[in-house]
Amino acid sequence: MDACDVLIVGAGPAGTSCAWKLRDSGLSVVILDRQTFPRDKVCGGWITPPVVEELEMDLQEYSRGHVLQSIHGFRTSRMGSREVETDYGRPISYGIRRCEFDDFLLKRCGARIHQGVPLASLEPSGDRWIVNSQFNARLMIGAGGHFCPVARLRGANARQEVSVAAQEMEFEMSETQREQCSIRPEIPELYFCADMKGYGWCVRKKSFLNIGLGRLDPHALPNHLAAFGAFLKKTRKVAFDLPAKMAGHSYLLYGRAKRNVAGDGVLLIGDAAGLAYSQSGEGIRPAIESGLLAAKAILAAGGAIGPSLSETYRCLLAQRFGKVQEEWAFDMGRHLPTRLVSSLARILLASPWFSRRVILDRWFLHSDEPALVC
């Protein structure tokens, strides 16, 4: 049986960031993932400068073998209404392809990696966990996303939680398609639904185009996707037929569900813990930061597994992500009549000040939050 100190289920940014932070700790770390990398991942696909700093990435080196698109601003609006372009005149984010980015993080994380291995069984044995009758671990870390099997075994019921449903596609455009696409690589576009329960996005990364839409109301998702596609074609932002079907994904917004993130020799990180930003739905930065915080808690405990480790991790999460609070503008769709919400959204989203200071600086870029120091 393969013995280790820490076994991480899930090789996305949360799991690999945790393993990377533990690489020089002397602890033996194993990562399992049911997929083989590189693999596709449903995501708009951009990272902010704090993420680059937290991961100690050399962007020049990364760009040599991977798509890296500098983003200087965004176009935003209520879908079909006046659009506002905000250009910061400097890189505020970087477009990446998740298939490349996740594979890059996995290759450098320093853990023993087992790809194409799903979690089939998880059984306690004294103060250790037996996984798939093959691995023996002192600490389990669930990093397998919204439907993480480790979270499920700890009582999470993803199908009964209020989650965001998203669908997205990413493809490389032909030369003709590039000529028929008015989305500029340095200025992605965000279009909010009239009821403010979701938004669509268009992110161009070199010759690749990422289009998607996510909503808190999954039953209405197909209709909104159809309307978004028609809008893109009518406005000639994407003046060609989309070449593939969209892929789906679900995730929890921070504070919308209560998952037991720590206890009994188990920690949950990333989407498995339900940490996506409540305004934008972004999951990459919270995933990476929760992975780093889990590693910090493990190191602070000196590798000991017990109640103090769980409490330390919970406290670190609370300190970083703060008290759960509703964002009035984004949550008004749940409290006001639809017509009133639509009218307010049209007015607010047409304001350059609101677009920059609230939508971008506060909701999407989190400009007031410096990089995590661990």
20 touches 109 (CB < 8 A)? yes
Nearest to 92 by CA among 178, 225, 187, 20: 187
Total residue count of the chain as it appears in this document: 374
Top pLDDT among 365 and 341 is at 365
Residue 73 lies in a domain: no
Say if residue 186 is in the same domain as residue 272.
Answer: no
Alpha carbon 255 to its chain's center: 15
Q: How far is CA 163 from CA 27, 44, 149, 258, 275, in A?
A: 35, 17, 17, 12, 11
pLDDT in tens, 272-302: 999 999 889 999 999 999 999 999 999 999 9
29 touches 160 (CB < 8 A)? no
Residue 133 lies in a domain: yes
271 touches 256 (CB < 8 A)? no
Q: State the average pLDDT over residues 350-354.
A: 97
Say if residue 231 is in the same domain as residue 155.
Answer: no
Q: Domain span at residue 219?
A: 164-250+328-364
Using a 10 angstrom Cβ sphere, with 0-12 exposed, 13-18 middle and 19 or more buried, the burial of residue 157 is: exposed
pLDDT(329) > 60? no
Give the model's pLDDT for residue 328: 45
Residue 61 lies in a domain: no
Residue 69 lies in a domain: no
Top pLDDT among 68 and 245 is at 68
pLDDT(323) > 70? no
Say if residue 179 is in the same domain as residue 34.
Answer: no
Q: Which amino acid is at 352?
A: P
Say if residue 22 is in the same domain as residue 109.
Answer: yes
Q: What's the whole-model pTM score? A: 0.94
Give the model's pLDDT for residue 217: 81
194 touches 344 (CB < 8 A)? no
Nearest to 8 by CA among 367, 287, 209, 210: 287
Residue 292 lies in a domain: yes
Top pLDDT among 335 and 242 is at 242
Q: What's the CA gap between 225 and 214, in Å, rounded?
A: 9
Q: How far is CA 126 from CA 129, 139, 153, 161, in A?
A: 8, 12, 17, 32
Distance between first and last Cα of the chain: 33
Q: What's the CA gap between 158 and 108, in Å, rounded?
A: 31
Residues near 353 by Cβ (< 8 Å), separated by ≥ 6? none
Long-range contacts of residues 255-259, Cβ cutoff 8 Å, at least 24 apart: 255/324, 255/325, 256/161, 256/162, 256/163, 257/161, 257/162, 257/163, 259/151, 259/154, 259/156
Say if residue 267 is in the same domain as residue 302.
Answer: yes
Whichever domain contains 120, its CATH number is 3.50.50.60
Q: Which amino acid is at 276?
A: A
Residue 310 lies in a domain: yes
Say if residue 315 is in the same domain as residue 335.
Answer: no
Say if residue 221 is in the same domain as residue 102.
Answer: no
Say if residue 111 is in the same domain as residue 211.
Answer: no
Residue 81 lies in a domain: no
As for how many domains the chain has, the answer is 2
Say if residue 122 is in the same domain as residue 9.
Answer: yes
The dihedral over CA atoms of 19, 21, 23, 28, expressed in degrees to the nearest 10, equals -50
Say if residue 238 is in the same domain as residue 258.
Answer: no
Residue 186 lies in a domain: yes
CA Rg value for the chain: 21
Whichever domain contains 339, its CATH number is 3.30.9
Say if residue 178 is in the same domain as residue 239.
Answer: yes
Q: State the average pLDDT over residues 243-266.
A: 89
What integer best gives the mean pLDDT of the chain?
93
pLDDT in tens, 40-71: 998 999 999 999 999 999 999 999 999 999 99
Give the model's pLDDT for residue 338: 76
pLDDT in tens, 158-182: 777 888 999 999 999 999 999 999 9
Give the model's pLDDT for residue 274: 94
Nearest to 350 by CA among 62, 75, 23: 75
Say if residue 38 is in the same domain as residue 152.
Answer: yes
